[in-house]
Amino acid sequence: MKILVTGGAGFIGSHLVERLLELGHSVWTLDNMSTGRLDFLNKVTENNRHSVIHGSVTDKYLLRGLMERVDVVFHLAAVLGVKNTVENPLKVIEGNIDGTRNILELAYQNRVKVVFSSTSEVYGRNTKLPFSEDSDRVLGAPSIHRWCYATAKALDEHLCFAYAEKGLPVSIVRYFNAYGPRQTSSQYGGVIPRFIKAALRNEPIEVHHDGSQIRCFTYIQDTVEGTVATISSQANGLAFNIGSEHSITILNLAQKIRELADSSSPIVHVPYERAYGPGYEDMPIRIPDISRARRLLQYEPSITLEEGLSRSIAWFRQQLQEGRL
C-alpha cells in the first residue's frame, strides 16, 4: 500500500515508518521537524520506497498533493506534553485541531483510510477502571489549561466519528504512555525519558507529588503493532485502546529505572505546583481495557517493562555519550 505518516520523524512515527517499510509498503513521511529529528529515520533514508517531506499538516496545498497519492494516512503529527499543555495552551489547541481537520477533509475527498492517534488522556480523571473505549470522559473546568490537550484530541475524535458516519474509513488509536528509544520529549513531559536521563547522570530523579499515581507504560514496539493492525477494515469506525495492562506507580517506576541504570541518583518528591504551577490537576490512575483490540486486531502487548526499560536505557546512554541529548 501507499501510506502517508504525518509526524513520521517523531518518536512513535519514526518507529511506525520503519515497521511499515519492513512490511513492504511505500511510505511518505510528512513532518515539520518541530520535535521530530531527521536522524530518527537514519535506518530508512536509503530505502527507495520512502520519501521524507519537510512540511506541515496545516499546509493544505502540500497535503492535497500527498493525499491524492496514498491509500492510508497515519496521522500522528501533534503538539503534546503536559508542560506544553500548561504553558502553551494555544499552541496545543491549534496544533491538534487545524491539521486534523485538513487530513479528514482531504481523506474524505480522496477516499483515503485514516488512522488517527489519540490518547488515554481523553478519559481524564474518570475513576471507573479499566477504561474501555466507551467509558465516560471526566475532565476539569475549561479554565484549567491542563485539560486542553485531552479536549482537542477528543474534538478530533468527534470529527473522525462524524466522517466515519459519512462513509470515511477511519480508526482511532488511544495510546497509553508509549515509551522507548527516541522519546526525546522529556522537555515537555515524558516521565520515562526524564527519569532515565536523571538516573544516567546520577542527578536527583524528580517524582511529582507522592509518586502514587498509577500508569501503564507501553513499549514502542507494542504501540506500533497495535497501530499497524488498524489498517484492517475490521477496525473502521472504531476507537481502540492501545496499551499494556501492566500497571506501576510512578515511585516504583523511578526505583526500577534507578536500579536498571545502576544509578546512585536520589529520588526526590516535587509538588505539582512547583513542577507545573498552581492549580495543576492529575489523574491518579489510568489502566486500559484492551479486549476490543485483542478481539478485532489480535493485539497482544509482549514486551515486559524490565525489557523495555533496559532497551530504552541503553539507547539514552548512547545518546548521552554522543552528546545528542
Ligand X SMILES: NC(=O)c1ccc[n+]([C@@H]2O[C@H](COP(=O)([O-])OP(=O)(O)OC[C@H]3O[C@@H](n4cnc5c(N)ncnc54)[C@H](O)[C@@H]3O)[C@@H](O)[C@H]2O)c1
Instruction: Report the residue number, 79 or 205, with the smaller CB distance to ligand X.
Output: 79
Tell the smallest beta-carbon distance from residue 58 to ligand X (Å). Answer: 5
> All 3 cell numbers of residue 95?
496544533
Question: What percentage of the chain's residues is helix, strand, coil (to nearest 5)?
Answer: 45, 20, 35
Catalytic residue, chosen from 149, 163, 175, 219, is 149
Instruction: Report the residue number, 167 or 284, with the smaller CB distance to ligand X.
Output: 284
Contacts of 240 (CB under 8 A, 6+ apart): 133, 171, 172, 173, 174, 226, 230, 290, 292, 293, 296, 297, 299
179 as an active site residue: the answer is no
Instruction: Report the residue number, 273 or 307, with the smaller CB distance to ligand X.
Output: 307
Tell the smallest beta-carbon distance from residue 24 to ligand X (Å). Answer: 23
Instruction: Report the residue number, 76 or 198, with the smaller CB distance to ligand X.
Output: 76
Instruction: Report the residue number, 178 or 231, with the smaller CB distance to ligand X.
Output: 178
Closest among 121, 126, 107 to 241, alpha carbons compared: 121
Concatenate the DSSP letters of all residues of 115-160 into one string: EEEEEGGGGBT--SSSBPTTPPPB---TTSGGGHHHHHHHHHHHHH
Residues at the site binding ligand X, with contacts judged by CB under 6 A: 6-7, 9-13, 30-36, 56-58, 76-80, 95, 99, 117, 119, 175, 177-178, 185
Tell the smallest beta-carbon distance from residue 110 to ligand X (Å). Answer: 19
Q: Report residue 264 CA to chain centroid gap.
A: 30
Tell the smallest beta-carbon distance from residue 208 to ligand X (Å). Answer: 17
Q: Which residue has the cell 491538534?
A: 96
Tell the smallest beta-carbon distance from residue 264 to ligand X (Å). Answer: 28
Closest among 51, 81, 79 to 193, alpha carbons compared: 81
CA distance readout (Å), 48 to 5, 7, 15, 28, 224: 16, 20, 17, 11, 22
Q: List active site positions.
A: 149
